[in-house]
Structure 1
Amino acid sequence: MNRILIKNAKIVNEGSIFDGDVLIENDLIVEVADSISLKTSDCIVIDAEGSYLMPGAIDDQVHFREPGLTHKGDIESESRAAVAGGITSFIEQPNTVPNAVTQEILEDKYQIAAQKSFANYSFMMGATNDNLEEVLKTNPKNVAGIKIFLGSSTGNMLVDREETLEKIFSSTPMLIAVHCEDETTIQNNLAEFKEKYGDDIPVTAHNLIRSAEACYLSSSKAVALAKKTGARLHIFHLSTAKEMELFTNKIPLEDKKITAEVCVHHLWFTDEDYKTKGNFIKWNPAVKTESDRKVLWEALNDGRIDVIATDHAPHTKEEKAQSYLKAPSGGPLVQHAVVAMFEAHHQGKISVEKIVEKMCHNPAKIFKIEKRGFIKEGYFADLVIVNPSKPWSVNTDNILYKCGWSPFEGTTFKSRITHTFVNGEMVYNNFKVKDIRAGKRLLFDR
């Protein structure tokens, strides 16, 4: 029997922090108590005094690039980075190559992950303008949801026919997750900047081309369509103050039909950072202004935004070093997302309890993930120990992404993840990922 006893931890769960012990047997949490006494010969004992013990983070939006784009990253490399960053479960998006828009291609990705993933995994089924029949075959018990791109991004999965959108929204009972940017607005803005700069558009124009207006036009249409059809809508990577008007904190999360996500980069960076970071903080949707960031933080804390995710999307340094028009959008984040949010905690922007709510509890609730996202007896032992007072700096020697870079390179974080457990297996310990692919396919209570 695999038995691990974590002692003297500050356990963070369901809005409270309390001192206690947690006992793991095989892949489950079997006891949570003020004090648990066992013979040391009967178990591995980890003393977590001074550290937080939190559920493993659940990242509801990543791009791990396999199959077809594995020069940027793959399920093995990026899930390894994820567990080093305290993310024990991920939901990956369908814009790999080939796009995951048939049940056969979708299942191929699950087979790859079953062999290679260090973290628990699920994959979204992709919608297109003409694959509704395939979308409706998706099994709600073992697939996270349906993904629709309402704005073009990396890949070619734009769904822009209103008739098709209404059919998808009205006919699928599953959660529908959307990327919202209005394509017409983006193309019009791009034409203006091309007229002014030719092919030498500066990256500082990115948030003006992929503008706040483009985001709001698209997300407001998605919300209106969800209300019209009764669809279960989840909007990814919101980036503007204006969009916060579309969401409510007046009802419990469990009763919401429309939920909202923000990503780490939109909480951390602003358009001022383009001057120093350039294409390395080029994302879709774009990083916006300081005033946008301020309102995103307010909405996160007051409950209008429900989830913090990464939109982890690696590209090579060479790809990012190209001119603005040629450089792809996206960046790697899973290894540094949790500690970045703890850094925000040190800055007084968010409580530790709220970090756990938005990165662990709420993704589990929104996607109805079975037995994960909480520290409860009978739940899978996906756990993370965070030392809040053990500074470390991000550099090329400790970056685990296959692409080899991070937008946080040179940043010193006050907090450090010391241990990560996936299904009861200690897969990470103090900068070392063990060669244990402990990830399991996520299942859903629906």
Structure 2
Amino acid sequence: MSSYLIKNAKIVNENTIFLGDVLVENEIIKEISSEIKATENVEIIDANGKYLIPGFIDDQVHFREPGLTHKANIATESRAAVAGGITTFIEMPNTVPQATTQNLLEDKFKIAANDSYANYSFMFGGTNDNLEELLKTDPKKVAGIKLFLGSSTGNMLVDNEEILEKIFSSTKMIISVHCEDEATIRKNTEEFKAKYGDDIPVKYHPIIRSEEACYLSSSKAIKLAKKTGARLHIFHVSTAKETALFRNDIPLKDKQITAEVCIHHLWFSDKDYEEKGTHIKWNPAVKTEKDRLGLWKALLDDRIDVLATDHAPHTLEEKTNVYTKAPSGGPLVQHAVTAILEKVKEGVISIEKAVEKMSHNPAILFQIEKRGFIKEGYFADLVLIDTNKPQTVSKDTILYKCGWSPFEGTTFSSTVTQTFVNGNLIYNNGLFNDKIKGKRLTFNR
């Protein structure tokens, strides 16, 4: 095992920044101090005042394996993730086949054990008819349950209200949900198709997948969670109106209902459809500037608990189809940290708060063992960031298998220079260690 001494770093942890050293031995953070003397067989990395943060824990990604590997796979996307400062991901069940049985779920874990550059877990997918299988999910070894209450693929739309209540009543695991009301979306879609056919201008996407569709579904899920006592986590909140459904008057560890916001809903607004087109077509939709600002407000005042990417790549050929045939989703893991650091530079959010939302809070929310903080005895998932090294996103620097990014042409002020996963230097100024893989997450439940 390699040992590293990271010196002269601006260490960001638990709402403080201090200049110091970190000693990494046998995958673990061995010591944190203002000054640590080097010993033999320790590789010294002089941070020269760079920020050292705990690795970003991304609680929602779609890495497309198995079955959709023409778009992406666990190896390519986790490689892009560690280059972007993401050391841990939780992947969704809507692959082909879908992870809706324990055997299919374990098949994905086996792929990740061989191929993933980052630490990993997967969610079990609930359907209208797999409750018995769902209840076999091991809470110590699996991140949680994922339910699509809208915008599902295959048979994963859980639209039987009796079954939905049974799921909420039967498991103490975190139930993460995609909330959009399908009846509202279908009605809106048909109205626009009647006018435009399949080639609906993409600027109408946030009107079709409307504030009403999101709020109806989110409020319904929260009402059911309160009725049943379920532990509910609402993914990718996209409207200012929904933020009023969440509370900030108790610690995160005590919340029964939590919320996530994604990078794209904080960065883009409906003003960007004219330039970006279907490249920023996501579900839920990127909405108005008022919604974007409302999401920022809720993130900063702790009604929204975590930041994520909802990384969901498609090929350029797929994305350039007409509206009704262009899939929703886009690649984000490589540039998520630098995008948020741009907002730090702009004064929108502090780096301490960003680390709380990207690293600390996902670890608390999912009860991940010994990750998400820079603490002695914790796994050394660490990221060094040079805030004085600009980078422009271009095709020749993109690591996603799909080969494109909604941030193409954007210049970020910061660059991730090194990423450690379990104490191993996996990414170092553009070079990768391809021999060491990430670990399966365990949970303190």
Which category describes the TM-score, using the shorter chain as reference length? over 0.9
Matched, 1:303 2:298: no
* Correspondence 1:12-411 to 2 at 5 A: 12-39=12-39, 41-411=40-410
Q: Give deviations 1:111-167, integer Å, cap 9, x for gaps.
A: 000000000000000000010000000000000000000002454411111101100
- Provide the rounded CA distance (Å) in 2 between the counterparts of 1:8 and 1:223: 46
The CA deviation at 1:283 is 0.3
Q: What is the CA deviation profile of residues 210-233 of structure 1, one whole-angstrom value per residue up to 9, with x for unaligned ones?
A: 001100000000000000000000
Contact between 1:425 and 1:438, CA under 8 Å: does it hold in 2? no
Give the conservation status (yes or no) of the 8 Å contact 2:74–2:115. yes
Deviates more, 1:192-201 or 1:16-25: 192-201
Query: 3-state SS of the aligned residue for 2:17?
Result: strand
Query: Are the aligned partners of 1:394 and 1:410 in contact in 2 as well (CA < 8 Å)?
Result: yes
Task: Report how far residue 26 of structure 1 moved.
Answer: 1.6
What SS is found at the alignment partner of 1:402?
coil
TM-score (norm 1): 0.99
Quote the Cα distance in structure 1 between the aligned partners of 2:199 and 2:4. 57
Query: Which AA in structure 2 matches 1:15?
Result: N
Q: What letter corresponds to residue 127 of structure 1 in structure 2?
A: G
TM-superposed CA distance for 1:432, in Å, is 2.2
1-structure distance, mates of 2:61, 2:288? 24
Q: CA deviation at 1:80?
A: 0.2
Aligned residue for 1:224, secondary structure, equals helix
For 1:11, the equivalent position in structure 2 comes to 11
Secondary structure of 2:325's counterpart equals coil
Distance in 2 (CA, whole Å) between partners of 1:363 and 1:404 is: 28
The number of residues matched between the two structures is 445
**Equivalent residue of 1:343, what SS?**
helix
**1:96–1:155: 8 Å Cα contact kept in structure 2?**
no
Cα deviation, 1:8-53, whole Å, max 9, x if unaligned, reads 00000011111110000021000011110013x4310001122110
Shift of 1:197: 1.1
Partner of 1:124, secondary structure, is strand
The one-letter amino acid paired with 2:5 is L
Post-superposition shift, 1:278? 0.5
CA–CA distance in 2 between the matches of 1:335 and 1:357? Answer: 19
- Cα distance in 2 for residues equivalent to 1:105 and 1:94: 10
Q: Give unmatched runs, 5+ long, in structure 2.
A: none
The one-letter code of the counterpart of 1:30 is K
**Matched letter for residue 18 of structure 1:** F
Quick check: 98-107 or 193-202, which moved more?
193-202
Q: Is the 8 A contact 1:10 1:51 kept in 2?
A: yes
User: Within 2, Cα distance between the matches of 1:283 and 1:336?
Assistant: 17
- CA offset at residue 196 of structure 1? 1.4
Matched residue of 2:395: which SS?
A: coil
Q: Measure, in 1, the Cα distance between the counterparts of 2:286 and 2:199.
A: 20
In the alignment, structure 1 residue 445 sits paired with structure 2 residue 444: yes
Mean Cα displacement is larger for which, 238-247 or 192-201?
A: 192-201
- Contact 1:58–1:359 (CA<8 Å) still a contact in 2? yes
Moved more, 262-271 or 199-208: 199-208
C-alpha RMSD of the superposition: 0.8
Q: Which amino acid aligns with 2:314?
A: H
Distance, in Å, in 1 between the alignment partners of 2:198 and 2:359 is 43
46-55 or 97-106: which moved more? Answer: 46-55
Mapped partners of 2:128, 2:431: distance in 1 = 44
User: How many Å separate the matches in 1 of 2:144 and 2:338?
Assistant: 28
Q: Which amino acid aligns with 1:68?
A: G
Q: Which moved more, 1:156-165 or 1:172-181?
A: 156-165
In 2: Cα distance, 1:59 partner to 1:391 partner: 23
In structure 2, C-alpha distance between the alignment counterparts of 1:345 and 1:154, rounded to whole Å: 36
- Large movers: runs of 4+ above 4 Å: none
CA distance in 2, matches of 1:76, 1:5: 28
Q: Secondary structure at the match of 2:323?
A: coil
* Counterparts of 2:33 and 2:239, CA distance in 1: 42
With the length of structure 2 as denominator, give the TM-score of the two structures.
0.99
Gaps of 5+ in 1: none
One-letter amino acid of the structure 2 residue matched with residue 348 of structure 1: G
